[in-house]
Structure 1
Amino acid sequence: MIVPSVGGNADAHGRLVRVDAGTSEWGRGVQGSERSVVTIGVFDGVHRGHRRVAERAVAVARERGLRAVAVVFERPDEAVRPGARPQVLTGPRRRAELLTGLGFDEVDVVPFGAGPPGAGPGEFAQSVLAERLRAAVVVVGERFTFGGQDASGDVEILRTLGDKYDFEVETVPHLDDVSATSIRERLVTGDVEAAARQLGRPHRVEGVVVRGYQRGRQLGFPTANVETPQHTAIPADGVYAGWLECVPVANLPALYEGERWPAAISVGTNPTFEGVPRTVEAYALDRDDLELYGVHVAVEFAARLRGNTRFDSIEALIDQIHADVEATRRLTS
């Protein structure tokens, strides 16, 4: 699937952005004898630590007049390796968008298993880094591992292979207080502010707005019921202040493209109403005129307001929603 910022395979600046890229597509923007500066990783969250690596790769590319290429590997699917896929902080389209925004000329998001079958470190360095990407420099974090399902290659092995296949290796120090695992742990407890400090921006989830029970509309607070992809890292149940944004995605309605509203967000099962599955719902403050069904949206979490509570009456629930809306207004103004 190709998801450029503007139609075709390139965005308005000539950058290539590909999701679900097959092996034959990697480095397609590297022409003839041209070489590249490459960074490789999962980059889930594209957090502050990832950005240090990415920004250094782009800087080296600019210094040397080479193309900057990011190869982003997806985690194995749950069906392929049960239990191996953690909750996803950023989907492939968003990951490519964030990395492109850092200045890469090409971003290839590669599904699990799309690389050379069973490629160990040596084969990966030769067939991917040297031959396909024509790497002059490979920039990675100091804890980088690669090569096959057991990831048996480390930075020192990569340096040795670089000597053999004519590419340099530069490492970027690890940020001790930042990791995708730590961010997921913060989200499990609902601490979206701590997660944002590690990400360098608010955590967001994306999905398509679908029809729900429409109870929010009946209460005077119509919500967008967001159907998120499987394995999305959703914060703990509760009520949050944040934002609702319409995100343009191919083959989906482009209503309200790029618009962003402060939003009161509910995550959970709505305990006042029994038998409701877990949902993510966002009420755009002061907007009861939005028609968002079928639209791809992003929900960003700024702060947790409270946990979920079962109310004894609808009136008590409405009073609390009014208080949540005013708290959201203060926090997002």
Structure 2
Amino acid sequence: MDIFRLTPDPSGNIAWPTLSTTKKSVVTVGAFDGLHRGHRRVIARTVERAKELNAYSVVIMFDPRPAFVHAYAKAHAGMDVPANVHDPDAITAVDARLRMLSAMHVDYVLIVRYTLAFSEKSFRFFLGQLVGKVGMRLLVLGEDARMGAKLEGDIKKIQDLAAATGVFELEVITDDDGKVRVPAQFKPIAPEEPGEPGDPLAGLNKDERRSWSKKNNAREVRSVSSTNVRYLLSQGRVRDANAILGHPHGVEGTVTHGEERGRTIGFPTANLEEPIEGYLPVDGVYAGWLIDLGPADDYERDQQELSGKPNPEEQQPLASVTVSDTPIVSHRFSSSAIDSRLAPESPFRWPAAISIGTKPTYSEQTGRNERVLEAYALTDDWIDLYGHRVRVEFEGFLRPQIKFDTTEELVDELKHNVEQTRDMLSK
């Protein structure tokens, strides 16, 4: 899989790469945050049709998320998102998405840095560029896809454009998974009771559902959607979120030194430093997995080499072209080394009891109330992961954060959580 990282110039124009002068492309477009089952249906069809047409399969992926860019601009007097600003609502880091796309045998991924100037380009101009520069013969989209300035380009208008020009075709992948209602402005709400929380609408009659929707200012969204995944994780409903994703939700980061209190009570944890890549579920204790991806410096160097991250001192691109001072940089991506660590039987993967929160038992005496993620690997020996890049995957919610009166009570509860984790993961 080859990757191009593309940055629009100040006017929003992109120097699109010419993938081939003779071979056409089958293209799909989106942020693909989370790469949930709906995304993968669209991408799998893109790959399938490309093979049928002897064409390249091309995924155009926006980063940062368009919604984040526009929200940031609204809060910062119309500014674009600076390169070092973290998006806490992104479900999945770009690196993780690239690993999944590689496993789906996509030929090319074009990562477009989404900017306000780029967002002002019409969908007609955008699609014309894809036809003329990327060789798009077929465009594959989900049925609710929209693109271009003010999201004017819906499926009907794109279909009309394809029919009028005759230079590309549109294939629409329909969604049969239904819709759900989600609060318009939901906030993380920690469950009050142990165990995986259920659907608050389950068992309600029509009037009760209407009352709930009104109280929460709920809106209808697709069941299989990034918005619904975000909502479920914000309520601690990990299993429901994982069912939509089609894989365990995970976050990634570098292990740093914490207070090291866990080691003194027999539960040494791996603490992740900020920023953590991926959407953090609501505060609580979870069962899941801790995966060592290797020393963070080695990981970053490898990703720079494999996925085209800018670092001119340490890497040479496969291809580099400059148009209007806007560089095109292409790299060939291979995630085999990381894939082996992520594999189910990998020696670098351990069951883990995971805590997200502010450590209420000790926050009064320490005066520290920052939100932290720490994972206790269920192994016989302590594992030194300081300075390592790790992935933490969530399988289920165990309990809310609790303030214990004594350390002994906390230790007893942690032992119980460890047994719960073993039991849940064994199933």
Tell me the TM-score normalised to structure 1 length.
0.87
CA distance in 2: counterparts of 1:86 and 1:320, whole angstroms: 30
Query: Secondary structure in 2 aligned to 1:140?
Result: strand
Quick check: 1:170 aligned with 2:171?
yes
Unaligned segments of structure 1, at least 5 residues: 1-14
Q: Residue in 2 aligned with 1:157?
A: 157
Higher helix share: 2
Q: Calculate percent identity across the aligned residue pairs.
A: 37
Q: 182-191 or 163-172: which moved more?
A: 163-172
The count of residues paired between Structure 1 and Structure 2 equals 315
String of CA shifts for 1:117-146, please: whole Å, max 9, x gaps.
62111111112x112211010000011100
Q: Residue in 1 aligned with 2:393?
A: 300
Quick check: 1:63 aligned with 2:109?
no
Q: Residue in 2 aligned with 1:240?
A: 286
Q: What's the offset of the Cα at 1:261?
A: 0.7
CA distance in 1: counterparts of 2:243 and 2:15, whole angstroms: 35
Q: Residue in 2 aligned with 1:250?
A: 300
String of CA shifts for 1:255-314, please: whole Å, max 9, x gaps.
995511100000101110112311111011125432212211111000111111111110
Q: 286-295 or 97-106: which moved more?
A: 286-295
Query: Secondary structure in 1 aligned to 2:73?
Result: coil
1:1-333 → structure 2 map (5 Å cutoff) = 15-18=1-4, 20-22=5-7, 26-27=16-17, 30-74=19-63, 75=65, 76-77=68-69, 79-82=72-75, 87-113=89-115, 116=118, 118-127=120-129, 129-148=130-149, 150-163=150-163, 164=165, 166-174=167-175, 175-176=177-178, 177-229=223-275, 232-247=278-293, 249-251=299-301, 257-258=341-342, 259-274=348-363, 275-333=368-426
Check whether the contact 2:138–2:168 (CA below 8 A) recurs between aligned residues: yes
CA distance in 2: counterparts of 1:167 and 1:241, whole angstroms: 47
Check whether the contact 1:244–1:297 (CA below 8 A) recurs between aligned residues: yes
Q: Which amino acid is 1:250 matched to? A: E
Q: Which amino acid is 2:59 matched to? A: A
Q: What's the offset of the Cα at 1:223?
A: 0.7
| Greater relative contact order (Cα < 8 A, sep 6+) | 2
Check whether the contact 2:251–2:277 (CA below 8 A) recurs between aligned residues: no
CA distance in 1: counterparts of 2:105 and 2:44, whole angstroms: 8
Check whether the contact 2:285–2:356 (CA below 8 A) recurs between aligned residues: yes
CA distance in 2: counterparts of 1:192 and 1:80, whole angstroms: 31
Query: Secondary structure in 1 aligned to 2:33?
Result: coil
Check whether the contact 1:206–1:228 (CA below 8 A) recurs between aligned residues: no
CA RMSD of aligned residues (A): 2.5
- From the superposition, tell whether residues 170 and 228 of structure 1 become closer, same or farther in structure 2 (CA, over 3 Å): farther
CA distance in 1: counterparts of 2:382 and 2:239, whole angstroms: 30
Query: Secondary structure in 2 aligned to 1:207?
Result: strand
Q: What's the offset of the Cα at 1:193?
A: 0.5
- From the superposition, tell whether residues 147 and 201 of structure 1 become closer, same or farther in structure 2 (CA, over 3 Å): same
